[in-house]
Structure 1
Amino acid sequence: MLELRPHFPLGDLLRAAELARSSFYYQLKALGTGDRHCDLKAKIREIFDRHKGRYGYRRVTAELRQQGLVVNHKTVQKLMVEMQLKSLVRPKRYKAYDGAASEKAPDRLERDFTADEPNQKWVTDVTEFKVNNQKLYLSPVMDLYNREIVSYEIAERPLPIMIKNMLTKAFKRLDSGEKPILHSDQGWQGGFNRSTQHRVTRRILGSRSAPPWESSSPTF
């Protein structure tokens, strides 16, 4: 693009390359300082600008991985801090109603949030946030092996169908015989308690490799 600048308007070049003006100038500045993360920073800023500041480091990392880049979420977080890129969306932890007191699903992880292989331990949660004054609920499933987002569902109301859709998409990615522990500290959306949640998971998806349900998950 630098070679073409003397011959074409910068705006036309940026549109052809689908590159934000801020990303171009940042990359230009980084090239002058010998920044080894120059290309990665430019991609991070392009994603951040394209989503109008709504993406934090986790979602930026997920999109980078979708583009085929192998990058650690901690590296993305550090670079975004350096570039002063902070998500405009402030997530709010959603607390579901637990219902009447009853037997809770066992905590088989025992606070060990590490995994030795993919699809061994999953965690899930529900986060409430606002976009343009519209309240939304995000429910993802994350693999503790590599922090990959296995599936997610976004809805305007935290109803059981949101969880059903999220889990259905997640379980479709499992191979035969894979039965990850699914871990959460949230009650089932819509007023079901955790022990009910444990049983509903199997009813929703049938007996096919439905993983055990756990209680109390870490914050993503």
Structure 2
Amino acid sequence: MLDVSERRVCRVLGQHRSTQRKVPCGADDEEALTEDIVALAKQYGRYGYRRVTALLHAAGWSVNHKRVERIWRREGLKVPQKQSKRGRLWLNDGSCIRLRPAYPGHVWAYDFVEARTHDGRKFRILTIIDEASRECLALVVARQLRHEDVLAALAELFIDRGPPAHIRSDNGSEFIATAVQNGSAKWA
């Protein structure tokens, strides 16, 4: 031990002196409350700590919203940014629905890109990529593309590389995605 006063040590460290005297003690129910908060945050993915506090009150917990917020931050819980309905990663029950690619050939995605030539005439490009490796599998360029063209491009890729586990599209109005899905299911 150094022969230095508590007051001087606290001043050098920039701490208040009361932090040296008060022994922090957690509540007896801290672990159970933390487990319930984490479980509710997993179950309701879009709820913040205030709504989770209300759910805890409904479940019988007598807990302050400040305490829930402190545990929420300590556990690193966050409400994800709101996403558009088309690209959201969860259903209304909070579960995740978007499939993440695990290996090359697991998930393929296809979509259209549109551009114009120097004289103003438009053309479309069908792009098919492997989401895991980010490899461009096919580019089909034409003035007009129909779902038969998409099926032909996918059939050629299925023959060359084999069918993927999943195919993702944006289900846009530019082609009939159900016809493509029904057609690609025949080769899988």
TM-score by length of 2: 0.42
Max radius of gyration: which structure? 2
TM-score by length of 1: 0.36
* Structure with larger RCO (C-alpha < 8 A, sep 6+): 1
